[in-house]
Structures are given as C-alpha cells and as structure tokens.
Amino acid sequence: MLKCILLIEDESTIADNVIYALETEGFHVEWQMLGHTALNTLKQSDIDLVILDVGLPDCSGFELCKTIRKFSEVPIIFLTARAEEIDRIVGLEIGGDDYVTKPFSPRELSARVKVILKRSTKAQSETQRIETDFVIDCAKTMIYYHGIGLNLTRYEYLILKTLLEKPQQVFSRERLIELIWIEPEASFDRAVDTHIKTLRAKLRDIDATDPIKTHRGFGYSIDASCKQQSNGD
C-alpha cells in the first residue's frame, strides 16, 4: 500500500514540485492550501506523514502543529522561509520531526520523508512484536490490563493511552494538559495529579505493581517493561 503524504502548502509552484518529487518516489500525495481544510483531511484520511508550511494564509503552521498534536502523533516536517535558529527550535519543541528551509531541493525533501517514515515504521513494528501487558482498543475507547478491561473516565483513558504510546518518555503535567484537555488554559497541574492517583488505584486492583512512574519535578512516564498493543485506529 502506498504511503500517503499530506502536503499543506499555499504556493502552487512549490506544491507542484514537491508532489512530482514524492509521486516519483512512489508516494501518494494529498494537497491542501489552507490549515482548516488540511485538518479535515487529516482526521478523515489515513495519513502517514505531514509536510507543513509555516506561513499559511489562514493560520500559523506552528499553531496548526499544536492542534494536530492534540489528536495525532503523525510525523510532521515543517517548510519555512525563515532560517533563524529560534524558529527551528520552536518547530521541533512543539512536536515537529524535521525542518526544511526554503528554497530547498524536492529530492532532498523526499529523502527526509523516507528516513522519517522508515524510523516510524520500525518503531511500530517493534511495538507489535513484543508481549503485551496492555491492549488499547481505540474503536471501543477501552484499555485492557492483563486481559481485564479498565473502567476509566475520559481523562484517565487519554492519560494512560498517551503514556502507553510512548513508553519511557516523560510527560510533564503541562504537556499532558496540552495534549488531552479540551481547554488547556482552564486546567491546572493538580488535575493531572488527581487523575493519575485514581488511575493508579484502578491498576492496583488488578496488579499490585505500579507501572506509572513519577519523575519529581518533571512529570510521569509508563514503565518500559509494561508493553502495549493497539487494536483499531
């Protein structure tokens, strides 16, 4: 099956060159010129990677990336005319995977796409091969722990799912709020602590071992030895 790339770029000349280079390499490309229509495409289609122009007519590419990261971990490559170091740092810190400055070679961009997709596919394969303690059924919004379904609230489910999707990664309270809460600005750090506490209690009802690790001053992670499997999208 062809890998599908979502290109979000308002300059048709650049888009035509990128589409030609990617399709020559065997990719399928969905092209959108505006951020709000691109979001609909991303939610409705099976997209493997996003190429995102920072300077869109209807929104900032950086803000669009933040919105995407609230519901998807799809790899993102930024395109921008700005070469300042601070812009590259911001792009990577908010969830971008790579950063390409205009003017650029479409062939080089294609090479970067292939490298990121290869890395992403390898990580997914390693997750699928290992024995699992957790199973995430996205279609039913259910997580099973040692084969037992957990009775979780919406926020408990989303917190645990976020931790499980990236074992060992430490998520700060602020990052969890950004990723999960509908209105992050109206939420507080203590809300995360409260949900972690109730989530731990439900996990201990099944197994006394606590898989959620607290990193004082930094945040939370899931124990690397607690593997997970995902069913559905």
User: What digits encode the pLDDT tens for the residues 113-138?
Assistant: 999 998 776 555 444 443 468 888 88
Beta strands in the chain (DSSP E): 4-8, 28-32, 49-53, 76-80, 98-101, 134-137, 142-145, 148-149, 212-215, 219-222, 228-231
- CATH 3.40.50.2300 applies to domain 4-127: yes
Overall pTM surpassing 0.95 (yes/no)? no
Please provide the average confidence, as pLDDT, over all residues in the chain: 84
The domain spans of the chain are: 4-127, 130-231
| Closest alpha carbon to 162 in 219, 93, 96, 90 | 219
What fold characterizes domain 130-231?
Arc Repressor Mutant, subunit A (1.10.10)
Average pLDDT, integer, range 25-40: 94
For residues 159 and 154, what is the distance between their CA atoms, to the nearest angstrom? 9
